[in-house]
């Protein structure tokens, strides 16, 4: 097997359990010279902790990243960047999560074992597949707490993308079936506006309705899902490729989004709606627009494609919609089977959130940042940020030169 292409790619992995000592991220393949401070990461971690409908756990945690390697004097060094985020709740779980075996069986089973598996969570399938007796062995890793480590990796990628003129934002488009009206004009700084809302919506009326709905659903011991929209601006035309299935950028973004805990659907641009319209009502007409270098010197009056054609960025804003199912831990639990006895039971009801849709938007931004940083490095890669900037500038100059050449021929 040829490992070289994979080794040259930007990649990251996370480790850690929800109530273990800490979460860890290792991001490898970022060039040297990317400006990076711990506060860049902490800002994103704090955004992920916001949102009406979160449970008490978020009051315990104040996520902060400790940079363990790969950064010196505020800049990346080109080596693996490792980040540590401590779980403050760990101190309440040291015995339950202790990696060492219990000294004697006389101490009885560990506390907080879960055998009444929750429908919709990884509990049942995980216990059977990994041959465990306690679903805690599964749920600690399946927990969306892991997304903290993803957001940390994404924050580093975001720093890299920002130096190249790319901005990523998101907002909640729908929560618990309540749809937010789209603003007539997108705010210049999408996140500044979305983050000011308790549910990250751009529609104050819908926000109030959602908050009331969350309160009602919480009283009923139930949970809610919803849809977030990620918007990325400043991408140059030409990221991703049409030539092979695994290089198409829409496919890669889809995989990244569907890997987020509780995410069940992804749409790009019009998404499913495109299938209900005629071609003339779907495809974006192309007009000449000299000077719009990153879009290949053309403009489109509409952006129904959501910034991707043929698996390649068009230079128009990338628009991804991500749908999350309601959280699987219900305070008024559904029926299940106790895997210890085989008997009918009510599912376990652990402390949890009513909804985490506002946080999911921040996580989707992080996953988009990773995939796009990877795509940028594939096209413009180098060992230093200077080299990447030079490669991008050379490509943009080439797009300009194509127009200049054409104009010269037309004038002759």
Residues of the shown chain interacting with ligand EPS in the complex, contacts defined by CB under 6 A: 18, 55, 57, 61, 89, 143-145, 148, 329, 350-353
Nearer of residues 48 and 300 to ligand EPS, judged by Cβ: 48
Which of 151, 64, 136 minimizes the C-alpha distance to 93? 136
62, two tokens:
């104040």
| Least Cβ distance, residue 311 to ligand EPS (angstroms) | 32
| Least Cβ distance, residue 259 to ligand EPS (angstroms) | 14
Written in H, E and C, the secondary structure of the chain is CCCHHHHHCCEEEEECCCCCCEEEEEEECCCECCECCHHHHHHHHHHHHCCCCCCCHHHHCCCCEEEEECEECCEECCCCEEEEEECHHHHHCHHHHCCCCCCCHHHCCCCCCCCECCCCCCHHHHHHHCCCCCCHHHHHHHCHHHHHHHHHHHHHHHHHHHHCCCEEEEEEEEECCEECCCCCCCCCCHHHHHHCCCCCCCCHHHHHHHHHHHHHHHHCCCCCCEEEEEEEECCCCCCECCCCHHHCHHHHHHHHHHCCCCEEEEEECCHHHHHHCCHHHCCCCCEECCCCHHHCCEECCCCCCCCEECCEECCCCEEEEEEECCCCCCCCCCEEEECCCCCEEECCCCCCCCCCHHHHHHHHHHHHHHHHHHHHHHHHCCCEHHHHHHHHHHHHHHHHHHHHHHHHHHHC
Q: Is the dihedral of CA 100, 104, 107, 112 positive or negative?
A: positive
Nearer of residues 57 and 116 to ligand EPS, judged by Cβ: 57
| Least Cβ distance, residue 155 to ligand EPS (angstroms) | 15
| Least Cβ distance, residue 112 to ligand EPS (angstroms) | 10
| Least Cβ distance, residue 191 to ligand EPS (angstroms) | 19
Nearer of residues 90 and 186 to ligand EPS, judged by Cβ: 90
Nearer of residues 51 and 269 to ligand EPS, judged by Cβ: 51
Whether 334 and 119 have beta carbons less than 8 Å apart is answered as: yes
| Least Cβ distance, residue 252 to ligand EPS (angstroms) | 25
Nearer of residues 115 and 143 to ligand EPS, judged by Cβ: 143
84 to each of 27, 29, 72, 87, 345, how far by Cα in Å? 12, 18, 16, 10, 38
10 Å Cβ neighbour count for 291? 9
Nearer of residues 262 and 266 to ligand EPS, judged by Cβ: 262
Region at 122 (left for phi over 0; alpha for psi -120 to 50; beta for the rest): alpha
| Least Cβ distance, residue 57 to ligand EPS (angstroms) | 3
Nearer of residues 250 and 365 to ligand EPS, judged by Cβ: 365
| Least Cβ distance, residue 124 to ligand EPS (angstroms) | 14
Name the residue whose CB lies closest to ligand EPS.
57
Nearer of residues 199 and 376 to ligand EPS, judged by Cβ: 199
| Least Cβ distance, residue 20 to ligand EPS (angstroms) | 11
Nearer of residues 89 and 338 to ligand EPS, judged by Cβ: 89
Nearer of residues 88 and 277 to ligand EPS, judged by Cβ: 88
| Least Cβ distance, residue 352 to ligand EPS (angstroms) | 4
């Amino acid at each position: 097997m040829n490992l070289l292409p994979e080794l040259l790619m930007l990649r990251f992995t996370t480790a850690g359990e929800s109530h273990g000592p800490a979460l860890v991220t290792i991001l490898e393949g970022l060039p040297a010279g990317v400006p990076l401070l711990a506060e860049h990461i902490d800002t994103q971690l704090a955004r992920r902790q916001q949102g009406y409908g979160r449970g008490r756990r978020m009051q315990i945690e104040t996520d902060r990243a400790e940079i363990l390697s790969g950064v010196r004097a505020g800049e990346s060094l080109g080596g693996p960047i490792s980040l540590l985020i401590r779980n403050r709740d760990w101190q309440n779980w040291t015995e339950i999560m202790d990696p060492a075996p219990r000294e004697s069986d006389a101490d009885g089973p560990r506390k907080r074992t879960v055998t009444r598996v929750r429908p919709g969570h990884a509990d049942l399938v995980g216990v059977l597949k990994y041959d465990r007796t306690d679903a805690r062995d599964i749920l600690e890793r399946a927990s969306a707490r892991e997304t903290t480590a993803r957001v940390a990796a994404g924050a580093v990628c975001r720093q890299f993308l920002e130096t190249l003129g790319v901005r990523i934002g998101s907002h909640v488009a729908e929560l618990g079936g309540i749809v937010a009206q789209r603003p007539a004009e997108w705010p210049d700084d999408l996140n500044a506006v979305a983050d000011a809302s308790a549910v990250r919506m751009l529609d104050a009326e819908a926000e109030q309705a959602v908050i009331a709905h969350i309160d009602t659903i919480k009283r009923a011991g139930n949970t809610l899902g919803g849809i977030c929209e990620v918007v990325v601006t400043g991408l140059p035309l030409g990221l991703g490729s049409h030539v092979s299935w695994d290089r198409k950028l829409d496919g890669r973004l889809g995989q990244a989004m569907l890997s987020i805990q509780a995410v069940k659907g992804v749409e790009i641009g019009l998404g499913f709606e495109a299938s209900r319209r005629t071609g003339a009502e779907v495809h974006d007409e192309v007009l000449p627009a000299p000077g719009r270098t990153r879009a290949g010197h053309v403009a489109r009056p509409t952006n129904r494609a959501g910034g991707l054609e043929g698996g390649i960025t068009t230079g128009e804003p990338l628009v991804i919609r991500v749908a999350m199912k309601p959280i699987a831990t219900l305070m008024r639990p559904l029926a299940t089977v106790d895997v210890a006895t085989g008997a009918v039971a009510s599912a376990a009801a652990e402390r949890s959130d009513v909804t985490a849709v506002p946080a999911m938007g921040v996580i989707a931004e992080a996953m988009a940042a990773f995939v796009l940083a990877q795509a940028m490095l594939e096209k413009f890669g180098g060992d230093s940020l200077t080299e990447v900037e030079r490669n991008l500038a050379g490509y943009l100059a080439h797009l300009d030169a194509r127009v200049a050449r054409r104009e010269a021929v037309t004038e002759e």
